[in-house]
Chains A and B, each alone.
Chain A
Amino acid sequence: MDNLANLLDGFANVVTPMNLLIALLGVTIGTAVGVLPGIGPAMTVALLLPVTYGMEPTQAFIMFAGIFYGGMYGGSTTSILLNTPGESSSVVTAIEGNKMAKAGRAAQALATAAIGSFVAGTIATLLLVVVTPPVVSFAISLGAPDYFALMLLSFVAVTAVLGASRVRGFASLLLGLVIGVIGVDQTGQQRLTLGIPQLADGIDVVVVAVGIFAVGEALWIAAHLRRRAAEVIPVGRPWMGKQDWKRSWKPWLRGTAYGFPFGALPAGGAEIPTFLSYATEKKLTKHPEEFGRGAIEGVAGPEAANNASAAGTLVPMLAIGLPTNATAAVMLAAFQQYGIQPGPLLFQRESGLVWTLIASLFVGNLMLLVLNLPLAPAWARLLRIPRPYLYAGILFFASMGAYAVNASPFDLFLLLTLGLLGFGMRRFGLPILPLIVGVILGPRAELQGRRALQLSGGELHGLVGGWVSWLIYAAILVVLLWPLLGRFVVRPLRGRLVTG
């Protein structure tokens, strides 16, 4: 029960007045920024990075945990109370949640979302505690070829599984990998620096994340700004009746069961489990007539799935250093800002830090529940913020954060360039996630690949290690050939299931 002792130590670190205050600050700011329309969880974390610049790593991590869960929760409030769909992971919540709100049941929708998020977050964080250590000990046994294969899988998975178009996904991934190449190579050679001395150290991942997520998004929204802001549905204090509880608790648990494993997979994300949860609840409900008109199960399940998958993404992120969604990618960038490299060694070198982070996830989750039930009306008022101020504010804080990384105006020009790239990607439907994953994992994949080839003297067979790498290459093949498999294997099977 080593881990339990570690976790208790982590709790001991969190439960000091100062750190509790920081956790509270983290969840409050995280929720407030996450509620703002147009700001998803990834942008929330990216924009709030500078808040932690002056802090000790421990306190910064406590704050991140709060911002992470707070931003997630804020997003669901937006999708329930605003009359328009937001980011992809809360689209499903919006389907029934928004209908409920329009039917005067906003309070119940917010309550089932808040309590469901708490239940799912707590269970999923517990699962994180149980699952992560074995994954770490497995990851430690891996060699350079296995790591290289794992990162390739990660590239292929975020590119080919998520998003609508593979070509566009690969275009985005390659752009990210090219950005990752910029800078001085391990041999001391300058690559793609174009003779600009500021590029010799490479482009800071924080600048990339803020540029692509915050500046790109703000410019894109500005180009298509609704001239009349979406209607906000007024809400009182969230509460649930006995009937609502009865109808909610099973969807919460089922949503958690969908969300966590999908989050932990290399290409999980929140979209698939929330869709699955919605479909399941629709099938199992005793009130099928309410679906499409505001069924509480359709909020409870997907919202739980969403939060559980967020906790699930922390497993590969902490244990192997693989980001599987945008928010985890930005968190990883934040860790690197502190010179901390997530991965199996993190648990050995910075054990106290990791367990403090995990403990503060529990604490932050509880705080969110306590905070969000009474504060919902206040969050709803945030949705009425005049849009010029909102997007001017995003550019303002993005500039501040990017400048503060290196105290260099050059980063601001870089930020704008990346923002324009993000703008173009949104215009042409290129997914953002592969680019960010490419920037973060690209250099590490190259390092592992070159290390593996060093052992084999440059022969390509060095890239194949033990059975793990064979298994991973097989998985990559399956992912790449999935459209063919889908046509000849999955679709006939599904057809048989539907007819039978």
Chain B
Amino acid sequence: MSGMTTRPDRGGEQPPRPPAVETSVPPIPEQPGAQRTADLPEVTRPATADVPPTVGEPAVDDGPAPRPDRAQYGVCAFLALVGGLVILDATTRIGHAVNSADPIGPRPVPILLGVLLLIVAAIYAVDVACGGAGEPEAGEDVDLTTPIDWRTVLLLIGAFLVNAVLIDRLGWVISGTLLFWGSAFALGNRHYVRNLLIAVALSLITFYTFAIGLGVNLPAGVLQGIL
């Protein structure tokens, strides 16, 4: 807890950079002057002139500053794909159920949404081509100067899926324990035994409070009759 987190791009002095624990990717050097969105309206930032630039100006997370964020074209493709799917579903799968009480029927709204999605995808692509970039979300524990740590994210997804697959078979107490322990491991905590104790305690407490105490749906699973 003694480590300072002052960042050079926020006007602080630079402490020796802590090594990126558990990651194989070395931290990318800072880039001052975060690229802001192209079409920033006036209204949203009424008093920024009065606000010292030390807060709320996060740096873009990856790549050196001048290179445009090309991954954004992926978002455009995703939006267009969703739009196409919605139109396809509306024109082929949804029945044409129109009657006098409902002259519109179930089809027009999805078709409209699909078309709008295609339009927005196109405008988005133009915006990206003109140098527009979204601003990654900042937060208390978010350090946007580091690249995305995919190993942690994938391990967390793994722990999450283990719980989803096992919850009905083994019950919440066991699957929840695995979820918490696995997530703590993924996030870099290596106190295996202590974490296991915390995970079991948390699962048991939530099971008794919510399932038994408040009647919330949580499965007992294989421990049925024991708990």
- Footprint of B on A, CB under 8 Å? 37-38, 50-51, 53-55, 78, 82-88, 91-92, 94-95, 160-168, 170-171, 174-175, 177-178, 181, 185-192, 194, 215, 217-232, 271-272, 275-276, 278-279, 282, 292, 384, 386-389, 391-393, 395-397, 399-400, 403-404, 406-407, 409, 412-413, 416, 419-420, 423-424, 426-430, 446, 449-450, 453-454, 457-458, 482-483, 486, 490-491
Q: Given A38, A55, A223, A271, which contacts B44 in the complex, CB threshold below 8 Å?
A: A271
Q: Is the CB of B179 within 8 A of A482?
A: no
Query: Which listed residue (B110, B134, B176, B213) contacts A396, Cβ 8 A?
Result: B176
Task: Say yes or no: A91-B160 contact (C-beta < 8 A), given A387-B141, A400-B218.
Answer: no
Report which of A167, A174, A389 forms a contact with B198, defined as CB distance below 8 A: A389
Please give, as numbers and ranges, the residues of chain B lying within 8 Å of A94 by CB-CB distance.
55
Q: A-side binding surface: helix, strand, loop or mixed?
A: helix
Let me know if A86 and B202 touch, CB within 8 A: no
| Chain A residues with CB below 8 A from B146, complex form | 224
25 contacts between A and B (CB under 8 A): A53-B214, A84-B5, A177-B113, A178-B117, A187-B102, A189-B106, A192-B85, A222-B153, A223-B152, A224-B143, A226-B5, A226-B142, A279-B50, A392-B179, A396-B176, A400-B176, A403-B217, A412-B160, A416-B160, A424-B78, A427-B148, A428-B134, A429-B135, A446-B109, A449-B104
Given that A187-B97, A222-B187, A407-B219 are known contacts, is A412 also in contact with B120, CB under 8 Å in the complex? no
Given contacts A392-B187, A428-B72, contact A399 B160 (CB under 8 A): yes
Determine whether the beta carbon of B105 is less than 8 Å from that of A187.
Answer: yes
Q: B139 is contacted by which of A87, A165, A190 (Cβ under 8 Å)?
A: A87
Report the minimum CB–CB distance from B87 to chain A (whole Å): 11
Whether A171 pairs with B124 at a CB distance below 8 angstroms is yes
Known A83-B4, A188-B97, A429-B133; further 4 A-B contacts with Cβ < 8 A: A38-B141, A167-B127, A231-B2, A396-B179
Contact A191 B94 (CB under 8 A): yes
A458 touches B43 (CB 8 A): no
> Within 8 Å of chain A (Cβ to Cβ): is B29?
no
The answer on a CB contact under 8 Å between A276 and B47 is yes
A430 is contacted by which of B43, B134, B215 (Cβ under 8 Å)? B134
Nearest residue in A to B144 (C-beta to C-beta)?
A224
Which one, A88, A389, A457, contacts B189 given CB within 8 A?
A389
Closest A residue to B127 using CB positions: A167
A171-B79, A388-B188 given as contacts; is B103 within 8 A of A409 (CB)?
Answer: no
**Contact flag A78-B140 (CB < 8 Å), given A85-B55, A404-B210, A413-B164:** yes
A-B contact count (CB 8 A): 331
Select from chain A the residue with minimum beta-carbon distance to B50. Answer: A279
* Given A162-B44, A231-B5, A409-B167, residue A191 in contact with residue B137 (CB < 8 A): no
Picked from B18, B39, B152, B160, the residue with its CB within 8 Å of the CB of A165 is B39
Q: Establish whether residues A454 and B102, one from each chain, have CB atoms under 8 Å apart when the complex forms.
A: yes
Partner of B39, one of A85, A166, A404: A166
Whether B200 is near chain A, meaning CB under 8 Å from some CB there, is: no
- B102: chain A residues within 8 A (beta carbon): 186-187, 450, 454
User: What chain A residues lie within 8 Å of B45 (beta carbons)?
Assistant: 275
Is B67 at the interface (CB under 8 A from chain A)? no
Q: Is B226's CB within 8 Å of the partner chain A?
A: no
B8 within 8 A of partner (CB) = no
Check A483 against B39 for contact (C-beta < 8 Å): yes
Which of chain A's residues has its CB closest to B1's CB? A384
Q: Is the CB of A189 within 8 A of B110?
A: no
Please give, as numbers and ranges, the residues of chain B lying within 8 Å of A165 by CB-CB distance: 37-40, 127, 132, 134
